[in-house]
Amino acid sequence: MKEIEKERQMIRETAIKTAQKTIQPRAAEIDEIGEFPRDLMETIGRQGFLSILLPEEYGGMNGDITTFCLLIEEIAKVSGSSSLLLLAQGVGTLPIWLGGNDSQKERYFTQISEKNSLVAFTLNEAEMGSEAPSIKTRAQKQGKDYLLNGRKCFITHGSIAHLYSVFALTEPTKGNEGISALIVEEGTPGLLFGRKEEKLGMRGSVTTDVIFENCRIPGENRLEEEGKGWKIARDTLTMAGPAMGAQAVGIAQGALDYSVHYANERIQFKKPISSFQAIQFMIADMATHIEAARALVYQAAARVDAGLEGAEKLSTMAKLYASDVAMKVTTDAVQILGGYGYMKDYPVERMMRDAKVTQILEGSNQVQRLVVANHLFRD
């Protein structure tokens, strides 16, 4: 256990150094240009962060979900977009980790670790909502291959990924049990993309629709047996929930840190505004909410890592609560800065814009509340 904690601390310290020295000076630029700079992505790749969840035997860092959360939180403190690059990579990789056989892991994990290949989690569809049976993307068996047709929307890494973890219907009449998971590789004929979305926040990440028009996918690219796709997707989201929460905590902490700094420097009536009780109360509430969210996130991560019962419920709670906290804290940060908080010269407006999507991605918070409620009434 001490060795694991030592490794986690080393990764965290590297993440802090990278965030402060490499990413923070360019965070505003990343937001402004609307795409994560390739040179920074290569830097992150060289540090092994794109392969943090992969086993060492395939060139990864053998990190668990707790370690992944530590990395995501530190990067998110300075740039939500940069943390999303890593979060999306992890979520895209987990289906292979969960459902891949030895040959698939050798092939794809080695590619990811050696070439810093990006992976996209390709589940969401325009009419899907929270119901898996409403998936329209179809993978029809043709001999040993699958003919893949459909359209996925709001996919992070959409047009720039090298590998796609895709969920499609192989047996339309079987509901959840008719969904299978396939790996689609870049350059596959018929693999097309929609326009790059212009987003409110997380502007440094690439989001597009991913379109499949008669894509022929080898049968050997299917993860697990047919019909296991929904379980793989659900387990992926359970494992990723704490990391999504960690991203929200990081964004909130970054906003709090800047608010404290600003309140100490901003002079009104010949006093720093940090001496005013109204500001002190806001800061105290922000800090308390963040610590509560952080505790829930890492409790959920520990439960996921240990494979304990109730991991899905706690993971959902972590994502739900931390994202609500991030939205409130960043909004309060803008309020503390007043008119300056509304200006792009200061980072808190970017943090507020970035925070919003944490309440939406991979299942809105309304859906998360339904999941929690279902667990409570079922249990």
Rounded to a whole number of angstroms, the distance between the first and last alpha carbons of the chain is 32
pLDDT surpassing 70 at residue 173: yes
Q: What pLDDT is recorded for position 245? A: 98
Say whether both 351 and 280 belong to one domain: yes
Query: Do 236 and 190 share a structural domain?
Result: no
Q: 250 and 301 share a domain? A: yes
Which of 66, 95, 117 is a domain's end point?
A: 117
CATH number of the domain within which 128 lies: 2.40.110.10
CB-CB contact of 95 with 228 (8 Å): no
Across the chain, what does the average pLDDT equal?
Answer: 95
* pLDDT band per the 50, 70, 90 thresholds, residue 212: very high
362 is catalytic: yes
Confidence of residue 133 (pLDDT cuts 50, 70, 90): low
pLDDT value of position 129: 63
pLDDT of residue 3: 83
d(CA 262, CA 276): 13
What residues make up the domain containing 319?
230-378
CATH of the domain at 316: 1.20.140.10
Please provide the DSSP assignment of 300-333 as one string: HHHHHHHT-TTHHHHHHHHHHHHHHHHHHHHHHH
Nearest of 352, 371, 274 to residue 80 by alpha carbon? 352
Chain segment 72-126, per-residue pLDDT in tens? 999 999 999 999 999 999 999 999 999 999 999 999 999 999 999 999 999 999 8
**How confident is the model over 244-258, as pLDDT tens digits?**
999 999 999 999 999
Please state the domain count of the chain. 3
Do 314 and 358 fall within a single domain?
Answer: yes
Final residue before a domain boundary, out of 85, 117, 149: 117
SS (H, E, C) 115-166: HCCCEEEECCCCCCCCCHHHCCCEEEEECCEEEEEEEEEEEECCCCCCEEEE
Residues 203 and 340 in one domain: no
Confidence of residue 130 (pLDDT cuts 50, 70, 90): low
Structure confidence by residue, pLDDT tens digits, 46-65:
999 999 999 999 999 999 99
Domain final residue pick, 117, 145, 161: 117
Over residues 197-221, mean pLDDT = 97
Beta strands in the chain (DSSP E): 119-122, 138-142, 145-156, 163-169, 179-185, 191-193, 207-218, 222-223, 267-268, 271-272
Model confidence pLDDT, tens digit, residues 353-370: 999 999 999 889 999 999
